[in-house]
Structure 1
Amino acid sequence: MPIITLTTDFGLKDHFAGAVKGAIYSELADAKIVDISHNVSPFHITEAAYIIQNAYRNFPEGTIHIIGIDSEQTPENKHIAVKLEGHYFVCANNGIMSMITRTIVPEEVVEINIHDRIKTNFTELDVFVQVACHIARGGTLGVIGKPIKEIRAITGIMPVINSEQKQIIGNVIYVDNYGNVITNITRRLFEEVGKSRAFRIQARRAHFTRIYDKYSDAINFDIEKTKREEDGKKIALFNSSGYLELAIYKSNPSTVGSASTLFGLDYRDTVTVNFD
């Protein structure tokens, strides 16, 4: 039985996540359900896109991913099912899938058209569960939807490169649980534009002239621990997902602060890279 994952903005206080799981088990008693996250900020499409983009490849092919963010059906917010790299995604066509399909062409995309068969005011509980369980049983996408060619894109998430190829203007697309700030500038773009030139990263009142591969690379472990610059050290690095991240070493947003609070950065704020 394929795995069914859940990514939503339901939080953990209310009954919604549990109700969706119950509905899946009612359809498929031996289902395997995995929570990716239920703490996506409400209606935050870009945040959800970043999370699912960096989670799905860790699951085996055939996994079905239900994404419940801004998913109420309206004339402007249709529902889709997407097959991509052997995975299936069931979500609203609101831009969530565009971060993934920007670099990977889907194998199949359909606009879900089974709504007239299901009485619902809870999309994830009814429509998305029915579609996911249909796929889990071996059903094809053509049975539950009509083929479409284009997926709606999220606007404003692509970095801008100036005409002289000396500057990348990016934006914050995600702030993680540690308060680390993730930008939309990828390592690949940085290296293509930078061509090994010296650089300066500017983000409000913080600036950086070096990028690390991991957090601990910024710490000199040859120095006695009591004399090291550790707590509060600001770091720029390419994270495990290949995005430029600005961080504070071992930060804690509730005590010593974080990159987001100390640098004054939040979603969509500008981060600029200038090359010599």
Structure 2
Amino acid sequence: MSAPVVEIVAIGTELMLGETIDTNSAWLGAALAEAGMPVLRRTAVVDDFDLMATALREALTRADVVITTGGLGPTHDDFTREVVASVLDRPLEQNDDWVRVLEERYSQRGIRMPENNLRQAMVPRGGEVLFNPRGSAPGLWIEHEGRIVIVLPGVPVELRTLGEQTVVPRLRARFPDAPPVRSIRVRTTGVGESRLAEQVADLITAIEPLDVAFLPTLAGVDIRITARGMPPAEADAALARAESLFSERIGRAHFGRAGDLHPAVLGRALQARGWRVAL
């Protein structure tokens, strides 16, 4: 089975006001690409019932897997559950198992559970609760007309825990033949983007079907080289060959790979020569 089309609907007015950076979508994008299911579109929307419903409906017309993030809290401004239930035309039903989980957690802390936490146990009919060990809102997994709707909390530590422990493993099992998307970065400094593109223009064609993108930074220009739709061993070999070709062509302007920083690279070079720097 080929890779599914995956979309994210990121929910929260705080995202649109610039108060919160959407690290959830970034994490999901990286984790799902490694699993062979790259996210092809992300839609961000404010906490508005109609706009949220429209975003979800549109995503379901394009994607095999739609993941929503945010809007699962116990307060009046958290209504992703209601939106999902409305769009899928499934009534919300109380999940007694999750009610017991919540009651036990509050009991262990010696605190009375607020009544509004019961909202977090409401599940669209036929949906499966995904156990959340880090918070009071479970994730949801809903099979709907050949598509999968995954509803995740917006608190980053909760989303990542659910992603690592449940969502990504289940999607891997569901789409076992999806080849991973792998990338490397060739980091350069001291050469402008336009000049660098001219310098390696023929190599871009030579390494097809790998994709090449130029990413300017304050430190210089990174060249990202990506393998898609290839078996892991073949992808690794192709990327290694591409890195060798590009680094040789670029020469001294090439200073490292993804994650390498100027000070660290310079420090390693000085250590290799037995040199010291006094400030």
**TM-score interval w.r.t. the shorter chain?**
0.3 to 0.5
The answer to which structure has the higher strand fraction is 1
Larger Rg: 2
More helix by percentage: 2
| TM-score, normalization by structure 1 | 0.33
